[in-house]
Amino acid sequence: MFLGKQIRLNRLTNEKSGKYVGVTLDHSTGRGVLRGLENAEEIVKKMVAGRPNAITMHKGIAEKVYAPHAGKVPLVLKSTTFSLYHNDIDIPVADVEEAVRFGADAISVGLILGGPEQIEQVKFLAKISKAAASCGMPLVAHSYPRGSEIKEPKDHADYAVRVAAELGVDIIKTNWNGSVKNFAKAVQAAAPAKVVVAGGGDGETLIDYLRLAEEALQAGAFGVTFGRCVFSDEDPTAAIVAINAVVHDGKTATDAMKEYKNFRG
């Protein structure tokens, strides 16, 4: 492994726990301007204050609002996006050269598998994988089996993570597939690449996501990457503090909620 890549991976990993808490705010191109994302500068500030291990965002927001926080929390540059009008394909919008220029510690690629659009997305992932490896840049994939040919995404989690692993991805974000036992199979299918659980719509309240984090860790996950449950929370900073408590401190979801409430005062 290139020294540069190892340095970047180390920056993405909590030294004490060896785990990862990522937060994302790349949603607006794909899902619209959701609650909590109305003011990009403000939500970035709140996320940084919670001290996650990385924040994933698109280049425009990074360039315009991230400079005051440079060096405080690693940046993961998102290189693809789907939209409200093309849900089954992530199209390229950035590259490794831009990630290097932005000082990112990783570049991330969306991968929607299980439909005819998979072909072009896999081609782009392979291209980014080669470029990232050449630059010592860690590669993250948001890999979801939700293409038009997929009837039950939970049955295809192993495939989703394995495709990403086969193409050189280091950290693979994917949805929960129903149980600790099932998610452990996905973690094993991806090894030695690391798997983190996505938040998505798998919960209604923060404690639901804290429990999801607990179960993912029991399954051997590297950590979590959450978005909506953080930026839509009444206190995004406190939400990250609570997630960190589960992932890095080994707290239960119940105890982490106490930390959330204590942090808010």
Two tokens, residue 211: 């429990």
Q: Which of 20, 144, 209, 260 is catalytic?
A: 144
Collect all residues with Cβ–Cβ distance below 8 Å to 181 and sequence separation of at least 6. Answer: 219
* Spacing of C-alpha 159 from chain mean position: 18
Q: Which of 5, 19, 20, 26 is catalytic?
A: 26
CA distances in angstroms from 132 to 11, 80, 128, 135, listed in the order given: 17, 15, 6, 5
229 in Cβ contact with 210 (< 8 Å)? no
Q: What helix, strand, coil percent values describe the chain, rounded to 5?
A: 45, 20, 35
Residue 173 is a catalytic residue = yes
Q: Which helix (H) or strand (E) holds 44?
A: helix 40-49
63 in Cβ contact with 102 (< 8 Å)? yes
Q: Which of 5, 173, 194, 251 is catalytic?
A: 173
Give the span between the Cα atoms of 250 and 233, in whole angstroms: 22
Q: Is the peptide bond before 52 cis (omega within 30 degrees of 0)?
A: no
What residues does 158 pair with on adjacent strands? none
Q: Strands (DSSP E) along 127-186, which ranges? A: 139-144, 171-174
Q: Which segments of 102-143 does DSSP mark as H helices, in order? A: 118-135
- Catalytic residues, by residue number, are 26, 144, 173
